[in-house]
Amino acid sequence: MPDTIRLPWLHDRHSHTSFYASLIGCQSLSTLTPDEALAAMKALPEDQLSVVFGWHSARLPLTREGLRDLPPAIIVNVSMHGFVLSEPAVGRLEATQPDVAAHRDDPEWCERNLPMLLELFSRTAGLTPAKLDSFMERMEVQGLGVVDDMLLPGEEAFQVIRQSRWAEHIQCWATPRTYRTLSPASQGALAGLKLFTDGALGSRTAALRGTFLDGREGLLLYTDEELASALSDAAGCQKAIAIHAIGDLAIEQVVTTLERLDKAGIRFPKVRLEHVQFIDEAQARRARDLGLVLSMQPNFNSDSRDYADRLEGRWLEINNPFRMLIDRVGFIPGKDLLLGSDGMPHGVEYALQWCLFPAYPGQRLTLEELVAGYGLSEFGKGESLLEIDAAEKRVRLLGSSC
């Protein structure tokens, strides 16, 4: 018989609150057939620049000819790594964002400038108090009372958050570039800074020691010296720092650089390594010795299923090595091992599904470890009712309430 459990609302340590909230009301293609998607995009307003998301490039190839017939639109890939512009959108952005218009067909440039692009998409879609209310209420339905924002797009969005009833429910992080544009008061209220050092699995740009199945190599966004310089500059702000590193090559570069800076006396109040899906045991021990915090996403256990078309089997097996990190290296959920979703997707149901019933045993987390790693929501008080069917290996969210 399935077990029914009650779970207090949790704290999602890694999402993109302002970005996802800004997309509310924008056209999504994720559930549409190719014909439906094209019809929806052709119906977009002609007099404004729209943001469209949920585009699967493999399901809906968009040619220059096809893009010429659409209203002005930024069409964002479902992975958030990659986009195309309709021809009318190119004309609009040439005046305000000439680099984006000029490099729109250059995948490496787009990956190196991903934070700036995501901020642009967010600002174009626009964050409003009503959108933020809708988003955070959705999060509560999914069992989350606090949802952090790891990529604040700017001062305007920060003011929407800070002046809302959700201000204490969202800790905000920003790139050093965006941090410099914020008011002094906003800089002081920011939780920390965010750097990216490689790409993502979906776009085949995560920096792995090896190639993807199609022969493509991942992408390090900095040379060693550039990363040392960027981190040294960021240290001057005296803020915590979160560093995106998915592949083991990127993790090695980050840990080595932090060791070097530590010896030089250059330190941060706190350092979080985000994602670290392919961290090995030696790297994990060095990270622990430096006092680094790992911030990971148990729902990305499903990458071992979803990306079997691009990763060799050994990568699928070592993805998200939670048991190694906890049992052998000694990371403690909730202390130096934090958990979140990256919004892919949000909510306790999917995370718990892939914790309890992962593709590989080394990815497993217990219910207690999941709750500790997320942490209990301090401000949004409620609980979720879940059904866990061990025989069917299925988790189902039955409801959520205050």
Run of H or E residues at 394: strand 394-401
Cβ burial, residue 48 (10 Å; 0-12/13-18/19+): exposed
402 band by pLDDT with thresholds 50, 70 and 90: confident
Cβ burial, residue 344 (10 Å; 0-12/13-18/19+): middle
On the question of pLDDT at 248 being above 90, the answer is yes
Instruction: Look at residue 350 and give its three-state secondary structure.
Output: helix
Mean confidence (pLDDT) of the chain = 96
Cα angle at 135 between 131 and 136, to 5 degrees?
Answer: 120
62 band by pLDDT with thresholds 50, 70 and 90: confident
Stretch 72-92: mean pLDDT:
92
Cis peptide before 61 (omega within 30 of 0): no
Percent of the chain surpassing pLDDT 70: 100
C-alpha dihedral sign at 25, 179, 110, 139: negative
Stretch 43-72: mean pLDDT:
90
393 band by pLDDT with thresholds 50, 70 and 90: very high
pTM of the model as a whole? 0.95
pLDDT digits (tens, 9 = 90+) for 120-135: 999 999 999 999 999 9
What was the pLDDT predicted at 81? 83
pLDDT digits (tens, 9 = 90+) for 273-314: 999 999 999 999 999 999 999 999 999 999 999 999 999 999
